[in-house]
Amino acid sequence: MRDYLVKGATHTYVACFYLFLPVMPLLASLVFLRSKYLLQYPRTLQKLVVHIRALREGPVRHFFGDVLGTVSAVPAEIQGHCVKCGNCCLDRRCVFLEQSAENEYECGIYHSPFRRFSNCGSFPLNQHDIERYACPSYFVAESVPIRFVKNIGEMQVAKVPSN
């Protein structure tokens, strides 16, 4: 049942994006206080179409199924740091992504309070996210299970050998 709800929400979201496409540059300019989306209306529309196509490839489903839903494959720890490659931004197809230097990108709405409602703030959620965008810097840290052993009145931690 949950899978059908996720699929339905995904299709509805994408359909609404297409339906509101003509007014999206205006909405983006107002919400993110950046007039360039409206001033560059034809370019913004082109970028929005590319953005929507990229969203249809899985990020919207991931957002409704994993970010808003119950996440089942969250590893113990993800390590690394952002190297501004732009891969996680829909493989550099996000309408808000801006090139800041050669092979370096930044989010044009990074400081907006509305960004936290997007899929962006959850990256990377799991190994699948890292692999999907071929992220060069984040990785899932291997967790080592531990067990506690009593030893004459004090607790010691013993590492359990991995298989």
Which amino acid is it at 105? Y
What is the pLDDT confidence band of residue 143, given thresholds at 50, 70 and 90?
low
Average pLDDT rounded to a whole number, residues 91-113:
91
- The DSSP code for 91 is T
pLDDT tens for 30-88 read: 999 999 999 999 999 999 999 999 888 888 887 777 666 555 555 568 899 999 999 98
What residues does each domain of the chain span?
A: 2-159
Closest CA to 123 of 110, 138, 136, 105: 138
Q: Please name the helix (run of DSSP H) or strand (run of DSSP E) that holds residue 114, with its range, or none.
A: none
Helix (H, G, I), strand (E, B) or coil at 90: coil
